[in-house]
Chains A and B, each alone.
Chain A
Amino acid sequence: MIRKKWLALLLAGCMAAGVLAGCGNSQGVGKDTAASSDTSDQGGQSGEKAEKESASTGEKVKLTALISKHSLTKDVNEMEWLNILEEENGVDIEWQQITADWDQKKSVMFAGGDIPDILFKATATTDFATYNGLFENLAPYIEAGDMPNVAGMFEDHPELRTLCTDENGAIYGLPNYRSLWPRTNRVLYINKTWVDALGLQMPSTMDELHEVLLAFRDKDPNGNGDTTDEIPLDFNGFPSFLLGCFGVPLMNESDGYYVEDGTVKNFRVDENYKEFMIWLQELYGEGLINEEVITQDYSKFQSLARGEGTTAKVGVTLGWESGDRFGTEVADQYVPLPALKPHADSDENEVYWGYYYDNNSVNAATVALSANCKNMEAAVSFIDDFYAEEIGIQVLFGGMNEVDNCIQDNGDGTYTVLPPADSSIDPGTWKWTNSFADYSPYYIADDMKDKLTMGEDMARVLAEREPLDPTLDLMEEKCDTYPAKFINYTTDENADLAMNQSNINNIVDQTYAAWLTDSTRNIEEEWDAYVKSVYDIGLAQNLEIRQTAYERYLEATK
C-alpha cells in the first residue's frame, strides 16, 4: 500500500514538473521575442535622428507591422512597390499578415497590449476608445508638419479630418479617400436582345417599363419555346435605387435616412414610398417580379441572372457591373438604363437615383500607430508616404515598376492601370492579389480622375453608369447630402438609435414584404396606420437625434 502511495506521488510529481516545464518554455519564448524586439528598438534609436539619410548609409530602421489582408492577396514581402517604399524610407519592416478571423484575434492581441508598430486595415474607430492608450495620437505629427501628405488630404477634404477626429481632438486612425470610384453602386440593366427580339422600344418611363415587362412575361423573349422560364424583373432586398426614380433624393442615404431641405427624413414614411409600393405590388401581382424575390439567397439571385448557357432568364435587374452580374455567357445581352421617370407627365427634375459617393470613396481608420512604437518619426513618415500621389495608386492597384507591372507611368504625369500579366485572371482578382487594395491608407485626389486610365473592369463600371450621369449630376447640384458617414454620436444617442432602429426595421421590413407579395393588402388604406406605428415605435425619436447631430455637424464644419 505504502509503495503504491509513493508511486502515485512520484507520478503526480512528474506531471507537475511537466506542467512547470511547459510554463518555463513559453516564458522562454516570450523572452526571446522580447529580446528580438529589444534589438529592433536599438536599431530604432540609432536611426531616429538620421531617419531618411540612414537609407543612404545602409543603416535601416527596424519596424514591425501588421496587415489584415484579403485572402487573395499574396505575401506582401513579394510586392516590389512595398519593398521600394521601405527602401526609400530607410525602414525594414517585419510583416505580420493575417488573412482570416482577424476580428477574433484582434481583441486578444489588443487586450494583451502587445501590438506591432503599425497596423494596416486592422482597426475600427471604436477600437481607439476601447483600448485607450494603446494607439498614438497622430494629430500633433500632422500639426508639426511631419505628415505633409495627410495634411494635404485634410486641406482638400476637411470632412475627412472631422471623420477621424475624436471629441478630444485626437486622431488615432487615418481615413482614406479615392476619387475614381463611381457615385452609385447599382445600375438598372435591361436585356436588349429580348427587347429587340420582341420588336419593342426601350422604355423611357416606369409605365413603359411595365409594358415591356408584360411582354417579357408572355412572349417567350429568349425564344426557347417555354413562356414560363423568363423572370421579367428581379432584385435583392429592397430596391431603393428605383425608389429614387419616384422622387426620393437618396443622396448618401443611410438606413433609409436622407436630407431634404435641411431636414433629416426617412423614406419609409414618405408619400413617394407609398406610390412606389403600390406600383411594385401591382407588378408582383401580375407575376412580373420573381416570386422568390424576398426568400431567395444571394447565390441563387446571382446564378439566376447568369442564365443557362447562352439562354438568359432575367429581363430587368439591378447590378454593380454587367460582367459580375450576368457572367461571361449572357452579359453582352444587357444594356444599362437611365433613371426612368414614373409617368410620361412626371417632372424630370424630381427623378433621382441612389447616390452613394461617400460610401464608395471613404473608409475610416485604415491605418494606426502603436503608442509603444520606439521610432515614431520613421513610422510616421512611412505612413505618410502611403498618402503620396504616386504611392496611393500603387497601394490600390499594385506596383508601378518592372517587377509588379500593374501600373504604367506614361511619363507625362498620367498613368495607366495595366491589364493582368496573367491573362487567365480577371482584373478584380489581379488587383486584390498584387496590392493592399480597398480599405487601405491612400489618398487619390480628385484630379487623379483625369490622370489615370483604369483597367477594363473599372472602365466598364464607369461606362455603364453614363446613362445615370445626368441624374447624379442633378442630385449633386440641387440635393442636400446626408453626411451620415462623418457624423459621430454620443454613447447614449447610439444606444437609442440602435434600439429604435431595430424596432423600426422589424415593422418596415415585414410590412414591405407583406405589401409586395400580398395583392389583397390595400396599401392606400393601411398607410396612415402604418406611418403612425413607425413613428411611435421610435422613428420620431431617431429623426430628432439625427436632426440634432446633423445640425451639430453643419455647425462644426462651417
Chain B
Amino acid sequence: MGRKIFSALKRDWQLWVMILPALAYIIIFCYGPMYGIQLAFRRYDFSKGLTGGDWVGLKYFMQYFQSPMFGTTLRNTFVISFFSLICGFPVPILLALVINSLRQQKLRRVVQTAVYMPYFISTVVMVAILQILLSPSTGVVSGLLKSSHLIPQSVNLLGTPGAFVPVYVLSGIWQSAGWNSIIFIAALSSVDGQLYDAARVDGANRFKQVIHVELPALVPTIVILLIMNMGRVLSVGFEKVFLMQNDMNISVSEVISTYVFNIGVQSGQFSFGSAVGLFNTIVNFVFLMIANMVSRKTADISLM
C-alpha cells in the first residue's frame, strides 16, 4: 500500500506539485480554521482563549433545539432556499437555450452581456435598488403593479410578510440567471453539429431539436449543478436577507444565518452561535450526500 502510494507520487510528481498550491490553500484556509468548531462544544471564555473553555458537550445544540426560534428560523431558511432553488434553477437553462438559438452573433452577444450584468451589482446596492423601486409611495415597480391591479393598493412590498419570499426570489433570479446560464451556454456550444443535421434529416423542427438534442446534452451539467445546489439548501445568502429585513417582515425573514449573527456576534454568545452554524452545515452536508446518492443510483452521474 505504502509502496503503491509512493510510486504513484513519484510517477506523477509534476502533477502533484501543480496541485500543491490548491491543496495548501484548502488545508490552511478550509481545514485549518476547523479547530474552531470546538467552540460549539465549549463554554467560551475570553480569558482562556478559543480552546480553553469548559467542555459542555451538546448543551448549546440542545439549547437551540429547545429555543422558540428553532422552528421559525429552520422553516424560514428552508422556505427561502427551497423557492430560490425551484424557481431559480430552471431559468438559466431556459435562458441558455434561448440565447443559443439566437442566430445573429451580434444580437446574441448583446443579450448575453445584458442579462449577466446585474450579477456584478453588490448586494448592498442591489437591496438599495429594490428599496427605491418597491417603495410604496415613490417606487416605480410597485406603482406599476398597483396601477395594473396585480397587487392590492395597500400593500407595502418591502414590509408585508407575504411579499418577502417572492421579492427575494425574483430579484435573485433577475440578478444571477444570466451569470448562471454561462455554464449551460458553454455546454451547448460543445454539441456536435452533426447531431442537428441528423435531427433535421429525421424531420425534427426547432422545438424537437431542443428536446432531443440540446436538453440531453445539458443533462450531466444540470445534475451536477443540482447536486451542488442541494448542498446549499439551508444556506441562504446572509447579506441580502439581513439587508431586506425589517420589523414588519421579521416573522418570515429571520433565517439561521441572521439569527447566528444576532445571537453570536451582536450579543456575544459565540458558543451558541457556533453551535447553530455547525448544525446548519451538517444539515447541508446531509442534503448534499442524499442528492449525490440518489443521482448516482438513478442516472449514474455524481460528484464522487
Interface residues of A (CB under 8 A from B): 126, 129-130, 132, 291-292, 294-297, 491, 494-495, 498-499, 501-503, 506, 509-510, 512-514, 517, 537
Partner of A499, one of B46, B135, B247, B272: B272
- B residues in contact with A495, CB < 8 Å: 269, 272
Q: Which among A129, A130, A296 has the highest number of chain B CB atoms within 10 Å?
A: A296
A227 to chain B, nearest CB (A): 14
B250 is an interface residue with CB less than 8 A from chain A: yes
- A residues in contact with B69, CB < 8 Å: 502-503, 506
Given A130-B46, A295-B248, A502-B262, answer yes or no on A513-B159 (Cβ-Cβ < 8 Å).
yes
B254 is an interface residue with CB less than 8 A from chain A: yes
> How far apart sit A76 and B67, CA to CA, in the bound complex (Å)?
50
What are 13 sample pairs from A and B whose C-beta atoms fall under 8 A apart?
Answer: A129-B46, A130-B46, A292-B136, A292-B137, A292-B156, A294-B159, A294-B247, A295-B246, A297-B131, A502-B267, A509-B250, A510-B247, A510-B248
Are B248 and A517 in touch, CB under 8 angstroms? yes
B251 is an interface residue with CB less than 8 A from chain A: yes
Determine the residue in chain B with the shortest Cβ distance to A229: B137
Are B46 and A295 in touch, CB under 8 angstroms? no
Are B68 and A503 in touch, CB under 8 angstroms? yes
The interface on chain B, measured as residues whose beta carbon lies within 8 A of the other chain's beta carbons, has a size of 28
Partner of B250, one of A129, A130, A494, A506: A506
Are B267 and A501 in touch, CB under 8 angstroms? yes
> How far apart sit A503 and B69, CA to CA, in the bound complex (Å)?
7
B173 is an interface residue with CB less than 8 A from chain A: no
- A residues in contact with B248, CB < 8 Å: 294-295, 510, 513-514, 517
- A residues in contact with B36, CB < 8 Å: none
> How far apart sit A109 and B268, CA to CA, in the bound complex (Å)?
21
Q: Which among A129, A295, A537 has the highest number of chain B CB atoms within 10 Å?
A: A295
- A residues in contact with B298, CB < 8 Å: none
Partner of B46, one of A126, A498, A503: A126
Determine the residue in chain B with the shortest Cβ distance to A519: B154
Given A291-B137, A295-B248, answer yes or no on A502-B263 (Cβ-Cβ < 8 Å).
yes
Are A537 and B68 in touch, CB under 8 angstroms? yes
- B residues in contact with A294, CB < 8 Å: 159, 246-248
A490 to chain B, nearest CB (A): 12
Are B158 and A295 in touch, CB under 8 angstroms? yes
B104 is an interface residue with CB less than 8 A from chain A: no
Partner of B263, one of A291, A292, A499: A499
> How far apart sit A501 and B67, CA to CA, in the bound complex (Å)?
12
Partner of A510, one of B137, B250, B262: B250
Per-position 1/0 for B238-261, Cβ under 8 A of A: 000000001110110010000100
- B residues in contact with A512, CB < 8 Å: 247
A208 to chain B, nearest CB (A): 27
B134 to chain A, nearest CB (A): 9
B300 to chain A, nearest CB (A): 42
B45 is an interface residue with CB less than 8 A from chain A: yes
> How far apart sit A502 and B262, CA to CA, in the bound complex (Å)?
7
Given A291-B137, A503-B69, A506-B69, answer yes or no on A130-B267 (Cβ-Cβ < 8 Å).
no
Partner of A517, one of B135, B156, B251, B254: B156
B190 is an interface residue with CB less than 8 A from chain A: no
- B residues in contact with A132, CB < 8 Å: 47
- B residues in contact with A499, CB < 8 Å: 63, 67, 263, 267, 269, 272
> How far apart sit A502 and B259, CA to CA, in the bound complex (Å)?
9
Are A291 and B156 in touch, CB under 8 angstroms? yes
Residues of B39-70 contacting chain A, CB below 8 A: 45-47, 63, 67-69
Determine the residue in chain B with the shortest Cβ distance to A538: B68
Interface residues of B (CB under 8 A from A): 45-47, 63, 67-69, 72, 131, 135-137, 156, 158-159, 246-248, 250-251, 254, 259, 262-263, 267-269, 272
Are A129 and B47 in touch, CB under 8 angstroms? yes
- A residues in contact with B251, CB < 8 Å: 510
B67 to chain A, nearest CB (A): 7
Assuming A295-B248, A499-B263, what are 14 further A-B pairs, CB within 8 angstroms? Answer: A126-B46, A291-B136, A291-B156, A292-B136, A294-B159, A295-B135, A295-B156, A296-B135, A499-B67, A501-B267, A506-B69, A513-B248, A517-B156, A517-B159
Q: Which among B246, B247, B251, B269 has the highest number of chain A CB atoms within 10 Å?
A: B247
> How far apart sit A294 and B131, CA to CA, in the bound complex (Å)?
12
> How far apart sit A295 and B156, CA to CA, in the bound complex (Å)?
9
B42 to chain A, nearest CB (A): 13
- B residues in contact with A537, CB < 8 Å: 68
Partner of A498, one of B247, B259, B269: B269
> How far apart sit A510 and B247, CA to CA, in the bound complex (Å)?
5
- B residues in contact with A514, CB < 8 Å: 248
Are A491 and B45 in touch, CB under 8 angstroms? yes
- B residues in contact with A510, CB < 8 Å: 247-248, 250-251
Determine the residue in chain B with the shortest Cβ distance to A536: B68
Q: Which among B136, B159, B269 has the highest number of chain A CB atoms within 10 Å?
A: B159
A210 to chain B, nearest CB (A): 22
Q: Which 8 A-B residue pairings sit nearest by Cβ, starting from the closest?
A: A498-B267, A513-B247, A130-B46, A295-B158, A513-B248, A509-B247, A295-B159, A510-B250
Determine the residue in chain A with the shortest Cβ distance to B135: A292
- A residues in contact with B45, CB < 8 Å: 491
- A residues in contact with B68, CB < 8 Å: 503, 537
- B residues in contact with A126, CB < 8 Å: 46
- A residues in contact with B246, CB < 8 Å: 294-295, 513
> How far apart sit A499 and B159, CA to CA, in the bound complex (Å)?
26
> How far apart sit A297 and B251, CA to CA, in the bound complex (Å)?
19
> How far apart sit A419 and B253, CA to CA, in the bound complex (Å)?
48
B98 to chain A, nearest CB (A): 35
Determine the residue in chain B with the shortest Cβ distance to A237: B247
A331 to chain B, nearest CB (A): 23
Q: Which among A129, A502, A509, A512 has the highest number of chain B CB atoms within 10 Å?
A: A502
A269 to chain B, nearest CB (A): 17
Determine the residue in chain B with the shortest Cβ distance to A291: B136
- B residues in contact with A295, CB < 8 Å: 131, 135-136, 156, 158-159, 246, 248
B201 to chain A, nearest CB (A): 54
A126 to chain B, nearest CB (A): 7
Are A130 and B156 in touch, CB under 8 angstroms? no
- A residues in contact with B72, CB < 8 Å: 506
